[in-house]
Structure 1
Amino acid sequence: MRKSFYQYLMTQRNPNSGDPIAHFAEAAFFDQQFPKQEKNYEKLSEYLELNASYLPSMDIFDQAFHHYRESEAHFS
């Protein structure tokens, strides 16, 4: 079974990292409304655009989602 984007993102958490994706993951961890079961790019993107003031650029989400898709391709 394919994991959700949130599950993937939590593997990127590292509060001591300077990596923007690690910062995104850390902030998403504290976002109680984050769609934790979602796998769909458009739905996640819409949520983040409307609700994630902690995300300084949607480019960070795009990069993270790209890595998520790549990681999932290895398990298909």
Structure 2
Amino acid sequence: MRQTFYQFLMTERNDHGTDEVAQFANNAFFDQGFPKLSDNYDFVSNYLELNAGYLPSMTIFDDAWARYLDKMN
């Protein structure tokens, strides 16, 4: 079964890590509105652009998405 992006992102959490994707995952964990059931790039990307003040750059999301695709293949 394919994981949603959020499920994958939660595997990247690290409270003491300095990796940008880990920090993104830590912050997404506390985002009550995060689209937890989506595996659609455009849907998640649009949500983050409009609602994720905790994400300093969309490049971090792109990096996380690339890791997600690698893991799903």
| TM-score, normalised with respect to structure 1 | 0.95
Q: Give the % identical residues.
A: 56
> Which residue of 1 is the match for residue 57 of structure 2?
57
> Which residue of 2 is the match for residue 26 of structure 1?
26
* Whole-angstrom CA distance in 2 between matches of 1:58 and 1:26: 16
Give the 3-state SS of the residue equivalent to 1:55 in structure 2.
coil
Letter matched to residue 29 of structure 1: F
Letter matched to residue 7 of structure 1: Q
> Which residue of 2 is the match for residue 40 of structure 1?
40
* Whole-angstrom CA distance in 2 between matches of 1:67 and 1:51: 22
Shift of 1:15: 1.1
5 Å-filtered alignment, 1:3-14, equals 3-14=3-14
> Which residue of 2 is the match for residue 16 of structure 1?
16
Letter matched to residue 33 of structure 2: Q
Count of residue correspondences: 73
The gaps in structure 2 that reach 5 residues or longer are none
| TM-score, normalised with respect to structure 2 | 0.99
Give the 3-state SS of the residue equivalent to 1:35 in structure 2.
coil
* Whole-angstrom CA distance in 2 between matches of 1:66 and 1:41: 10
